[in-house]
Amino acid sequence: MATSGILRAIRYHPISSRIAATYRSLSTLVLAEHEGGSIKASSISAVEAAKSIGNENSVSLLLAGSGPSLKEAAEHAASCHPSISQVLVAESDNFTYPLAEPWAKLIHVVHQKGDYSHIIAASGSFGKNIVPRAAALLDISPVTDVTEISDSNIFVRPIYAGNALCTVRYTGSSPCMLTVRSTSFSVASTSADSNSKPASIDQVDLSNFSEDDAVGKSRYIKLSSQETERPDLGNARVVITGGRALKSAENFKMIEKLAEKLGAAVGATRAAVDAGYVPNDLQVGQTGKIVAPELYMAFGVSGAIQHIAGMRDAKVIVAVNKDADAPIFQVADYGLVGDLFEVIPELLEKLPDKK
């Protein structure tokens, strides 16, 4: 199997004594996303990333929302990871939906009281929406899509669609704000120790948070989601992805049937999403979701560099394409040159139903 090399670019700058003094006292604020009374796995991965900043690092988790689900999420947060020492809860109707404007103002208010050395969020739609605006309010430049934390101010992040790794030293003012790739900071099964003492839960003082702070240039319209028993794409052990070669939304149902047999999540290329075969929340790639499953199966996927950037960390990659020269075969562990309209029906026939 031919594989492309990974380059590592190093950018070092002298760090000022003022910043060095700041990092002697480490404290991290993790921006948490929750749904249905539980903390999302990507946010727990962000807590795992915070562990790498330093041994004496104090980790606080920030939750915002309204209603009974927020209380349930706070209770889950208090015991979901042993590194969490405090759960901060901001309860207000302004945070019913995770809009950038009120969240950015909330982060600014919380940081003024906590004086955190680092602020971390997962590099998903939640973090990508909020972090840039919050960074602007704090007058700092965020370090995005971090895959490795070498020190409290030295980070590794991919560039050029993942074909090179860049090591950067943060020399800006405090706090150092990061978004981290959740697939690079997997949480060990022993992290949520049932014998560990739950973190304290404290309410955020919102007396200085006015209604005007919540009014911005965006507003919530609606949430469109599909009810399915399939695992979440970002955390699935097995992902089955289809490309534009499936030709229609009706044909894409073959991918869904195969995923059901294997207990897998369904993914798609940007071309398949743009063609309207599936909704964009299934897109895998540089502008979609980053996945790192144990098994990744690609049917009719050519292997554009933008797509490879979203799945190259999969443990085993299987590709089926009728074009023997398709770039996907350069990164695949197993490849089959064949017509997916013949291969998938045969797989559906021979694979046993999931029990």
Given 187, 214, 241, the domain boundary residue is: 214
285 is in an annotated binding site: yes
Query: What CATH code is carried by the domain that includes residue 273?
Result: 3.40.50.1220
DSSP summary character for residue 188: P
What is the tens place of the pLDDT at every residue in 67-99? 899 999 999 999 999 999 999 999 998 898 889
Identify whether residues 54 and 193 lie together within a single domain.
yes
Flag whether 304 is in a domain.
Answer: yes
Mean pLDDT (the chain) is: 87
Flag whether 225 is in a domain.
Answer: no
Identify whether residues 95 and 24 lie together within a single domain.
yes
Identify whether residues 104 and 206 lie together within a single domain.
yes
Identify whether residues 177 and 269 lie together within a single domain.
no
Give the least confident one: 80-89, 220-229, 262-271, 311-320: 220-229
CA 163 to chain centre: 19
Identify whether residues 261 and 125 lie together within a single domain.
no
Reported as a pLDDT band with limits 50, 70 and 90, residue 163 is confident
305 is in an annotated binding site: yes
Query: What CATH code is carried by the domain that includes residue 101?
Result: 3.40.50.620
What is the tens place of the pLDDT at every residue in 264-297? 999 999 999 999 999 988 999 988 899 999 999 9
Q: What is the pLDDT of residue 224?
A: 67
The residue ranking higher by pLDDT, 160 or 334, is 334
Identify whether residues 240 and 328 lie together within a single domain.
yes
Identify whether residues 200 and 268 lie together within a single domain.
no
306 is in an annotated binding site: yes
Q: What is the pLDDT of residue 10?
A: 47
Residue pair 35/66 in contact (Cβ under 8 Å)? The answer is: no
321 is in an annotated binding site: yes
Flag whether 281 is in a domain.
Answer: yes
Identify whether residues 113 and 205 lie together within a single domain.
yes
Given 214, 242, 263, the domain boundary residue is: 214
Report the number of distinct structural domains present in the chain: 2
Q: What is the pLDDT of residue 208?
A: 78
Identify whether residues 102 and 56 lie together within a single domain.
yes
301 is in an annotated binding site: yes
237 is in an annotated binding site: no
Residue in the structure block whose two tokens are 């098994």: 295
145 has pLDDT over 90: yes
24 has pLDDT over 70: no
307 is in an annotated binding site: yes
Reported as a pLDDT band with limits 50, 70 and 90, residue 18 is very low
CB neighbour list of residue 341: distance below 8 Å, 6 or more residues apart = 251
Q: Count CA within 13 A, CB hemisphere, residue 57.
A: 26
270 is in an annotated binding site: yes
112 is in an annotated binding site: no
Strand stretches in the chain, DSSP E: 7-11, 27-31, 34-35, 38-39, 58-65, 84-91, 118-122, 143-146, 148-151, 154-159, 164-169, 176-180, 200-203, 238-242, 265-268, 295-299, 316-321, 334-337
Identify whether residues 208 and 237 lie together within a single domain.
no
Query: What range defines the domain where residue 249 resides?
Result: 233-350
Cis peptide before 352 (omega within 30 of 0): no
What is the tens place of the pLDDT at every residue in 168-217? 999 988 899 999 999 899 887 644 455 568 899 999 998 877 766 566 67
Identify whether residues 8 and 157 lie together within a single domain.
yes
Identify whether residues 74 and 198 lie together within a single domain.
yes
Identify how many contiguous H helices and E strands the chain contains and give both numbers.
Answer: 10, 18
